[in-house]
Amino acid sequence: MSFDPSLLAKARHLVVFTGAGISAESGIPTFRDRLSGLWERYEASELASAEGFRRDPALVWGWYEWRRTLVHHAQPNPGHQAIARLAALVPKLTLITQNVDDLHERAGSREALHLHGRLDALRCFACTRPALEIPKPDEPNEGRRVEPPRCTRCNGKLRPSVVWFGEQLPGDVLRAAFTAAEECDLLLSIGTSGVVEPAARIPRLALAAGATVLHLNTQPVAVQGEREFALAGPAGELLPALLRQAFGADA
């Protein structure tokens, strides 16, 4: 049985849950599914972790600087834009993202719940206080080592305010995400491999609470039961088509 687009038009509370795949068509490498994927190129545990930063701060800071410049030069794609339009088409929308880029915001989405923090915020690795000014990122140069800037208060090294592996997700954001997943009647899970915990629990929570879940992914996604569906294809094409089917040609 295939997904009925009218469910989107009838949704009272829609949750949109995104992963790295929603930014792929903006030219931001995902973590696993492409040969040049960041995780293929580096050990994620080596780079996206406090131990990695302690061991080689210049390599980790250089990786984040490269990613910040990629995002800085990237544009939101039709997938991000369709999600931004959805907010005006349904009574209530909660956007939850695993991504640390600001492409949802630049597409016009407001109040995205960033489970894993954001690249464009920095804090001190030593005293944890937020950095007051964000240095302009250097030009992209994959894997170049760059010494991290220093905290103006304690001279500690600055780090990106993202959630590294082994670090806890911000409790208030995670609770808001879980609550939305349990309250919604429809959840779109877009561009995520569903590997990273606890974020990967979100579609499962929605399904268990009786919602319908639709996965949008270039790869096939295994679904079970009569309330879980999957569409295979790029989000930048599937989402605009879904809005047209649900809300009419000019949605």
Which residues contribute to the annotated binding site? Answer: 64, 67, 98-101, 124, 127, 151, 154, 191-193, 217-219, 235
Is 235 an interacting residue with respect to ligand BV8 (CB under 6 A)? yes
Residue 244 CA to residue 248 CA, distance in Å, equals 5
Query: Token pair for residue 130?
Result: 């937020």
Active site residues: 116
Binding-site member from 21, 57, 62, 148 for ligand BV8 (CB under 6 A): 21
Looking at residue 43, what DSSP letter applies?
-
Is 158 an interacting residue with respect to Zn ion (CB under 5 A)? no
Residue 207 CA to residue 23 CA, distance in Å, equals 25
Footprint of ligand BV8 on residues 44-63 (CB under 6 A)? Answer: 48
- Which residues are documented as binding site for Zn(2+)? 124, 127, 151, 154
Binding-site member from 16, 234, 242, 246 for ligand BV8 (CB under 6 A): 234
Least Cβ distance, residue 90 to Zn ion (angstroms):
43
Binding-site member from 151, 184, 205, 221 for Zn ion (CB under 5 A): 151
Closer by beta carbon to ligand BV8, 165 or else 247: 165
Residue 86 CA to residue 233 CA, distance in Å, equals 19
Closer by beta carbon to ligand BV8, 128 or else 152: 128
Distances (CA, A) of 85 to 37, 88, 236, 244: 29, 6, 13, 11
Q: Which residues pair with 95 in a beta bridge?
A: 16
Q: Is 144 exposed, middle or buried (0-12, 13-18, 19+ CB in 10 A)?
A: middle
Residue 83 CA to residue 96 CA, distance in Å, equals 11
Residue 164 CA to residue 119 CA, distance in Å, equals 12
163-182 footprint of ligand BV8 as x/- string (CB under 6 A):
xxxxxx--------------
Residues that bind ligand BV8 (CB under 6 A): 19-21, 24-25, 30-33, 48, 98-100, 116, 162-168, 191-193, 195-197, 199, 216-219, 234-235
